[in-house]
């Protein structure tokens, strides 16, 4: 099992290119199931989760071809011959549930295993199921599978989510584009990945209005056609690499970064004393004046502070001047990185969904263990600012969401390497 070895090496300088968004690409790929014409996605990230979704779609009979070293995905669902998404594939990744809506919408039936993924709380799929039922799908849970039928096709309806859910919004939106009549999704998620999906679906012929707001209106159409669509830049990878110079010092330009993707996060960095500016090439982040200031953080749905950047922000606060409070409002059980940061000398107290971090002058390298995707990269970031060596084990989590993290950080001066079999 691989590990990542990080040695604190002072200030960083240079450019880091930002890949296409994992979460957006994982949502766009199942959209191929809505049409028998080709869908081409450019700016695709090369990640293990993308390989898992490729495996899942291929098991259904879709064709997925990687072009340009994997950065272009050519998909076609003209010969789907299986409507069961098996447990052995689905268990690897929660986003697998996103094949459910498109299959029921186009084929009138589907059988999808309940998903797996990172162990960061229950993250139930009940909102996905309620939304599809509102559109007329008949659902039954049997032996760990969701069995869905819509023999007469789905029908437009008002779907009001009791709370904001990105995945449920995506699943129901894809189903609604082929439903008969008008659907209104209320309390819908506003994330950039939702907007990106809607833009792609509209290129395929869907009639959608209101994406990016809490109310999305969909006029169902009989069929969608093919399209080519670029995956939006990954705002979580962007925020992660923005934190590298904030933690280690220096100046790094994140190529392709856009302020509107990370505005709430950038505001917290500014309050901490880190300079963030939009350039023609992306976002430039600079920090060169000692320790950052402690700031409080409360995670929230977009456009608020992303839960997927909470662990990385905690790493920054570990060496901040003062005490910060991080409130996790999206997922329970998402402070599993705190004990590992404590092994490096951090002072963290966790109570329920709140973590109180009292900054120390310097962290110390130590062997630590990644517990989930974002926790793994938070430990790497902490290692950039630590004295000595930090060895992060169980980095298979990391490979699900970050492409070439060692190469990207090495290019700006970090001493980081992958240790095989450690």
Cβ-contact 391, 419 below 8 angstroms: yes
Residues 40 and 148 in one domain: yes
Q: Please give the Cα distance from 331 to 124 (Å, whole number).
A: 11
Residues 166 and 288 in one domain: no
Residues 56 and 14 in one domain: no
Q: Output the tens digit of pLDDT for each of the chain's 422 residues.
A: 899 999 998 899 999 999 999 999 999 999 999 999 999 999 999 998 999 999 999 999 999 999 999 899 999 999 999 999 999 999 888 889 999 999 999 999 999 998 754 443 444 688 999 999 999 999 999 988 999 999 999 999 999 999 899 999 999 999 999 999 999 999 999 999 999 999 999 999 999 999 999 999 999 999 999 999 999 999 999 999 999 999 999 999 999 999 999 999 999 999 999 999 999 999 999 998 789 999 999 999 999 999 999 999 999 999 999 999 999 998 777 898 999 999 999 999 999 999 999 999 999 999 999 988 888 999 999 999 999 999 999 988 888 889 899 999 999 999 999 998 75
Q: Please give the Cα distance from 352 to 19 (Å, whole number).
A: 34
3-class DSSP state for residue 419? strand
Domain count, the chain: 2
Please say which residue of 175, 196, 230 terminates a domain.
Answer: 230
Residues 71 and 142 in one domain: yes
To the question of whether residue 404 is assigned a binding role by annotation, the answer is no
Q: Please give the Cα distance from 41 to 188 (Å, whole number).
A: 24
- b/e per residue, 371-398, with b = 16+ CB within 10 A? bbbbbbbbbbbbbbbbeeebbbbbbebb
Domain that holds residue 408: 3-19+233-419
To the question of whether residue 149 is assigned a binding role by annotation, the answer is no
Residues 108 and 139 in one domain: yes
Run of H or E including 203: helix 192-203
* Sequential DSSP letters for 4-67: EEEE----EEEEEEPPBPHHHHHHHGGGGGG-SS-EEEES----HHHHHHHHHHHHTT-EEEEE
Q: Please give the Cα distance from 67 to 85 (Å, whole number).
A: 25
Packing angle, helices 373-384 and 235-248, rounded to 10: 20
To the question of whether residue 125 is assigned a binding role by annotation, the answer is yes
Counting Cα atoms < 13 Å in the Cβ hemisphere of 142 gives: 8
Cβ-contact 67, 73 below 8 angstroms: yes
Q: How many residues does the chain have?
A: 422
Q: Please give the Cα distance from 340 to 351 (Å, whole number).
A: 16
Residues 299 and 195 in one domain: no
Q: How many CB atoms lie within 10 A of CB 127?
A: 19
To the question of whether residue 166 is assigned a binding role by annotation, the answer is no
Residues 178 and 261 in one domain: no
- Residues with active-site annotation: 118
């Amino acid at each position: 099992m691989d590990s990542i070895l990080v040695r604190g090496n002072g200030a960083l300088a240079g450019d880091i290119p930002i890949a296409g968004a994992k979460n957006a690409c994982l949502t766009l790929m199942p959209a191929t199931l809505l049409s028998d014409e080709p869908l081409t996605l450019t700016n695709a990230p090369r990640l293990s989760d993308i390989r898992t979704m490729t495996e899942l779609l291929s098991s259904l009979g879709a064709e997925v071809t990687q072009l340009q070293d994997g950065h272009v995905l050519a998909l076609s669902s003209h010969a789907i011959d299986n409507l069961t998404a098996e447990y052995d594939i689905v268990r690897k990744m929660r986003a697998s549930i996103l094949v459910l809506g498109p299959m029921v919408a186009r084929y009138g039936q589907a059988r999808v295993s309940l998903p797996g993924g990172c162990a960061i709380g229950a993250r139930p799929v009940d909102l996905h199921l309620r939304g599809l039922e509102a559109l007329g799908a008949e659902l039954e849970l049997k032996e760990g599978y969701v069995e869905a039928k819509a023999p007469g096709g789905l029908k437009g309806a008002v779907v009001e989510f009791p709370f904001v859910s990105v995945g449920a919004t995506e699943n129901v939106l894809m189903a609604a584009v082929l439903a008969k009549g008008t659907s209104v999704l209320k309390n819908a998620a506003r994330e950039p990945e939702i907007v990106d999906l809607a833009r792609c679906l509209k290129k395929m012929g869907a009639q959608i209005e209101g994406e990016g707001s809490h109310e999305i209106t969909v006029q169902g159409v009989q069929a969608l056609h093919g399209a080519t669509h670029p995956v939006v830049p990954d705002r979580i990878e962007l925020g992660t690499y923005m934190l590298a110079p904030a933690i280690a010092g220096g100046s790094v330009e994140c190529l392709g970064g856009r302020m509107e993707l990370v505005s709430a996060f950038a505001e917290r960095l500014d309050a901490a004393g880190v300079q963030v500016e939009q350039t023609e090439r992306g976002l430039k982040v600079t920090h060169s004046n000692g320790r950052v200031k402690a700031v409080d953080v409360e995670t929230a749905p977009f456009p608020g502070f992303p839960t997927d950047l909470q662990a990385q922000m905690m790493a920054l606060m570990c060496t901040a001047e003062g005490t910060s409070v991080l409130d996790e409002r999206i997922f329970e059980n998402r402070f599993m990185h705190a004990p590992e940061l404590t092994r490096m000398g951090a002072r963290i107290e966790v109570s329920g969904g709140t973590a109180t971090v009292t900054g120390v002058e310097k962290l110390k390298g130590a062997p630590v263990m990644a517990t989930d995707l974002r926790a793994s990269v938070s430990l790497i970031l902490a290692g950039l600012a630590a004295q000595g060596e930090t060895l992060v084990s169980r980095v298979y989590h990391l490979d699900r969401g970050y492409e070439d993290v060692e190469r990207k950080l090495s290019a700006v001066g970090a001493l980081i390497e992958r240790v095989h079999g450690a």
